[in-house]
Chains A and B, each alone.
Chain A
């Protein structure tokens, strides 16, 4: 079986600062990494491979040149190889463009049976790419997956985590599966795994390699245009008491005054 794991390089959200004057985030110079759910997807793929050595795991990721560094962790976690989609033509894509780019790369790989990815990316958490990818590839898509099992004789059985129920679904392959963090605990690669990863094949595909243009997968194809992206105006009072004694008295008084206690 050939599994493609789509991963997204995102800025490390723990390091984001907000400029107080403009309420805009400072993103320049921040470290980048793969999102948490993406690693759950990769971990699931590697476990399938460990149970069945004929399985091949390919990471497919689009992004900036920093990907060449970022992808090393994924290879150390157990992916066999990586395809990096790096080209100025891919910049400014909305989720439709990103999905089309990934779909084109997956079709170029040719023999992919299962596409695994995070249910949502760490930064936007829109969950759009798994759904659009399913449609573009013409295959079923299941998202919010917290359990995944390969069935004898092909196909998979997955458990979808919905608000008030779990839904168990059997899906023919090929399929697209979006996973949640409940699926597994991604491994921390060992030193030997990190050293071995350096020798694993990494291909880089450009717009020319894929036969696409910015008007198909980049800014020219975007149907959603960002007007602004700012921290919400903070209207919190921020009255913090360092003396608990005083704090309890004042807080109870204030909560009564606010009218938020049961009357």
Chain B
């Protein structure tokens, strides 16, 4: 009888004990191993045939085996005995005891996703007030007086001469005025425009903008950042493309499309068959903006980008109507738990 055989016998015995479902079955196992003609007494008997030098070690192992099996039978017997006719009824299909989980609002979720994605490449969050000066919201962003965005039909002007910010770009102005380059910030926040509420507009919405100012920043950096951002936010296969556009505070300005994360660019309902979805506006910071905040445009360049949080939420989660985000129906909200 070798050590390996003893070990195998032990494993077999313990397994049989474990699966014994009744006291009677357990008794049969006991007889098989420990009974007068059981396996273990036979092993003991066989010890004397072993060579002298192995006999002592094998004896120890055999004794240990015997006591292990004995203990296991005793323990299993106690289990089976206690779980006898006196057991309480037990229904594992009853509902689990819940501490009902809460859920983050989809808008917060997108903002936090973006914050996390951008944090990996060194963007920190900056903040500013909802009530802004005309200077920060328009003038310092190189927006001429006659630009339609200043129109009281589009912007909420207050009696103080301030306005409800129409974009989070004024936070960029605040940041740049408060510290020298390099700057790498994102500015999530609430914005206001005098839009009549419909399926895709609301007078109250959220934006996230990003700003990077340093020496030697180029359009290629902007492209790379948007490409990284698109992959992280919408999925690894999502690509970006740029189209030239106009914003007062960037030059050149671009619109940034993401390839459709639903159809992969083949064309579907979400991308209106075009394969691309317009997501962000971006561009290289206009030197005139740098002059407003006291940065030297000869020394520094930078890029800025921005997008609507609601729009991204709708595109990413396939929502057809922006209003569902502000209805606050629990049955909608809790799906984002």
Does B bind A? no
